[in-house]
Amino acid sequence: MPSAHPAPSPRAPRRPAATQALLAALAVALACGVALWWWGRKPEPAPNTAFLLLDGTQKNTAQWRGQVLLVNFWATSCAACVAEMPALAQIHARYQARGFGVLAVAMPYDRPEYVLNFARSRQLPFAVALDATGEAARAWGPVHVTPTSYLLNRQGHIAQRYIGPPDMAQLQRAIERLLEQPA
């Protein structure tokens, strides 16, 4: 007497290794696609922000075009910011003659007298600006974490963004690459 239940259909044997290999290949292809997109994208123009420098002058981002510029958002109350300043001063001194500059932008919560005292007592050799209204921090990010730095190429485009203190050796390599590019 035939069974009322049909015989189960034979299933293809599972191949977990083949499935894993396919997923790995897809992941690699996706990673390669993202990498190609990242490296092929055009650099983003830096915001043309007006900065009030400690000497009372005003300068905007466009006035630094032709130079490689590190825009560093910092605060006197930020231990990592204070710790990186001597290295930034050394890097500035090393590359300034080749067309490199640093702009240290104090966050709006930093008291101007603290910023002025810090810059004078440490004899910072680069431009220091006050972002009293927070407009610059909003335009560049918004910037919420200090230090946050943007490395600009000679055309005024953002070549690299650093959240937290950058690896100084890597930063110097990036600066050297940008300095080698034509203006």
Residue labelled with tokens 């203190």: 165
Q: What's the total number of domains in the chain?
A: 1
Gap between the Cα atoms of 128 and 109, Å rounded:
15
| Residue 25 pLDDT | 63
Is 98 within a domain? yes
| Residue 88 pLDDT | 99
Residue labelled with tokens 């123009």: 45
In percent, the amount of the chain with pLDDT more than 90 equals: 75
The answer to whether residue 45 scores a pLDDT higher than 90 is yes
The answer to whether residue 42 scores a pLDDT higher than 80 is no
Is 96 within a domain? yes
Is 17 within a domain? no
List the domain range (segments joined by +) for residue 109: 45-180
| Residue 59 pLDDT | 97
Is 33 within a domain? no
Gap between the Cα atoms of 159 and 123, Å rounded:
28
Q: The whole model's pTM is what?
A: 0.78
Mean per-residue pLDDT, 56-72: 97
Is 21 within a domain? no
Contact present, 166 and 73 (Cβ < 8 Å): no
